[in-house]
Amino acid sequence: MSINAAAHIALSSLLTTQVQMTVASANIANAGTQGYTEKTAKQASVVTGGAGAGVTITGISSTVDKLLLRSLMTATSDLGSADTKNTYLDQLQQLYGSTNGNDGSGTSLGNSLAALEAAVTALSATPDNASLQAGVVTALDAVAAQLRSTSSGIQALRSNADQQIASTVSDVNSQLQLIGTLNLQITQAAASGQPTGDLEDQRAQALQDIASKMDVSYFTNANGALQVYTTSGQALVDAAVHTISYTPAANVTAATAYSPTPPSGFSGIMVNGVDVTQQIKSGSIAALVNVRDTALPNAQAQLDQLATTLADSLNAVSNQGTALPPPSSLTGTAAVSLTTPLSSPGGTVRFAEVDSQGNLVSYQDLSLSGMATVGDLVTAINGIPGLSASLDSEGHLVVASTDSGDGVAINEMSGSIGGQGVSDFFGLNDLVTATGASDFAVRSGVLNNPALFPASTLDPSATLTTGSLVLPPASATMVNNLSSLLVGQTDFPAVGGLGTSRLSFANYAASIVSNIATQSATATSNFNAKQTAQQAFSSAMSSQSGVNIDEETARISTLQNQYAASAQLLQVLNQMFSTLLTTVQS
């Protein structure tokens, strides 16, 4: 072997070792960089004319277990979904307040209804106590306010989830664009023989970020470009980048819903003109859709059932009574017309004109048999001396005293329309108004003037005498009925994942809170499990393809020795060459 050949071999070893040291140093420097994988400089022998001619670096690459990477992507999607659901259910639980007060002073709906029960119980001892009547109204208003605020909070969470879908889609699009850019850089670098490991790490990190937001499928083609698809096969990155589009709703109410068939309140998540909303099964986007369209609407349905059942029950009791002094006019809450048919009318209802002291001015018992429409009842009421009846511009029945100093009192007696008492059917003495939890409210007249609380009852005797007291200051029966309603058992059908039950209102509210707490605890447990699984795959990936600083440090030490040996050999060869040159010249 010539001195030149030996020198070339030594130099190639020197340069190759230098590259390997540079790669090992870069590994150590990037050991803490997220997504970085260990790089290895591949060394190969150079053979010229059948003889060894040194070594060379054929490429710098990283070794990644593709099956392990796919498992990590799946675990990352599951964790993204579990994390999002856990966050929203925790916020939902906080909306319902606390039940942990040792003295019963919790802030949940159950506690508020229990406080209403206590106020009614206190009133039952002295039904004519104006201060205690005002206390009942105040307690009921607190329940109403909590129902409204909880409902508003649920819809705010739904709106937040909807807005977060839009921002998450935007994040996914940014990562898709990055993958498209990296694909181009990787294919160009590979074609020119340049290392692609760092670019591939960035691309894998972008893919993992997408996986945390939505489940995807992917593969690397022969040119080294990564192609990404939805699990249903819609291309996200192939020869081009196909971004996702989503437009959040401008306003979210309990009625706002998603439907795959337009029109709907929430738009679809679109890819290439295809709605993929229901095809996304994992990741934070899937969880956001679930809480927006299922978990939170279920909670709203439970709350609405509590609100409407409570309103109907309270009004059924309050319409059996009246206030003292009686109001000069009563206005219903039900919208009707003169031609509205009366369903199965029967029995007798008593209308009376009563003075401010509760003394009878006039009255009449109306038989509902034979009455076919609202107009028939209006005509009959107009036939009672001292009273008038009409429909206002919104279709509400108005019964008024023709003497401004007197008022109107009603006893439903045996009369009913469609199974409801007459006053209850029209809502003439409603205590609350509600179509759901969002608008549950104490009737404004009663809220502004608690003296209008219907605690008295018009005398139900067979006959009444003009001038006699027919409306006493307060009726224990009326208040007791209200108390029995609140503490008694009410049937609640299954709704929103909550089963059928027969409970008091306070206990039903408590069961709603308990149900949400259970869901939140389950979500937290699931999140912890998914986090553990994801961390296990991440650790396995790090062990398989991450940087081991001790190993890299040892490798550098070995490479330094190799470098020193190659340098020393090259120095000896240079001395030999110089000696030979001197000998020839002499």
Residue 212 inside a domain? The answer is no
Residues 455 and 570 in one domain: no
Q: How far apart are CA 135 and CA 126, in angstroms?
A: 13
pLDDT for the residue 359: 97
pLDDT tens column, 31-41: 666 666 655 65
Q: How far apart are CA 155 and CA 191, in angstroms?
A: 54
Q: Is pLDDT at 206 greater than 70 in this prediction?
A: yes
Residue 368 inside a domain? The answer is yes
- Chain mean position to CA 545: 38
Residue 190 inside a domain? The answer is no
Extract the tokens encoding 365.
């018992």
The mean pLDDT value for 341-364 works out to 97
% of the chain beyond a pLDDT of 90: 70
Q: Is pLDDT at 339 greater than 90 in this prediction?
A: yes
Residues 336 and 453 in one domain: yes
Q: Is pLDDT at 311 greater than 60 in this prediction?
A: yes
Last residue of a domain, one of 410, 442, 473: 473
Q: Is pLDDT at 318 greater than 70 in this prediction?
A: yes
Q: How far apart are CA 272 and CA 568, in angstroms?
A: 64
Sheet holding 348-354, edge to edge: 360-367, 348-354, 407-411
Residues 374 and 467 in one domain: yes
Residues 356 and 452 in one domain: yes
pLDDT tens column, 320-338: 999 999 999 999 999 999 9
Residues 562 and 467 in one domain: no
Q: How far apart are CA 216 and CA 118, in angstroms?
A: 56
pLDDT band at residue 104 using 50, 70 and 90 as cut-offs? very low
Extract the tokens encoding 10.
């030594």
Residue 388 inside a domain? The answer is yes
pLDDT tens column, 365-418: 999 999 999 999 999 999 999 999 999 999 999 999 999 899 999 999 999 999
The mean pLDDT value for 351-359 works out to 97
Last residue of a domain, one of 473, 494, 522: 473
pLDDT tens column, 166-190: 999 999 999 999 999 999 999 998 8
Of 560, 557, 562, 542, give the one whose Cα is nearest residue 62: 542
The mean pLDDT value for 346-364 works out to 97
Paired with 570 in beta bridges are none
Residue 117 inside a domain? The answer is no
The mean pLDDT value for 67-93 works out to 93
Q: Is pLDDT at 53 greater than 70 in this prediction?
A: no
Residues 557 and 448 in one domain: no
Residues 342 and 469 in one domain: yes
CB-based contact 96:515 (threshold 8 Å): no
Q: Is pLDDT at 102 greater than 60 in this prediction?
A: no
Residues 451 and 341 in one domain: yes
Mean pLDDT value across the chain:
88
3-state secondary structure of 403: coil
Residue 55 inside a domain? The answer is yes
Residues 461 and 553 in one domain: no
3-state secondary structure of 399: strand
Task: Find the helix or strand (DSSP H, E) in which 558 lies.
Answer: helix 549-585
pLDDT tens column, 521-563: 999 999 999 999 999 988 887 665 655 565 556 666 676 666 6
Q: How far apart are CA 168 and CA 138, in angstroms?
A: 44
| % helix, strand, coil for the chain, step of 5 | 50, 15, 30
pTM assigned to the model: 0.84
In which domain, by residue range, is 41 found? 3-62+548-585
pLDDT for the residue 569: 63
Per-range mean pLDDT, top range of 107-111, 258-262, 305-309, 570-574 = 305-309
Which residue type does 169 have?
A: V
Least trusted range by pLDDT, from 116-130, 191-205, 222-236: 191-205
Q: How far apart are CA 533 and CA 525, in angstroms?
A: 12
Count structural domains, the chain. 2
Q: Is pLDDT at 247 greater than 70 in this prediction?
A: yes
Residue 164 inside a domain? The answer is no
Residues 357 and 442 in one domain: yes
Last residue of a domain, one of 437, 452, 473: 473
- Phi, psi (5° rounding) for residue 257? -145, 160
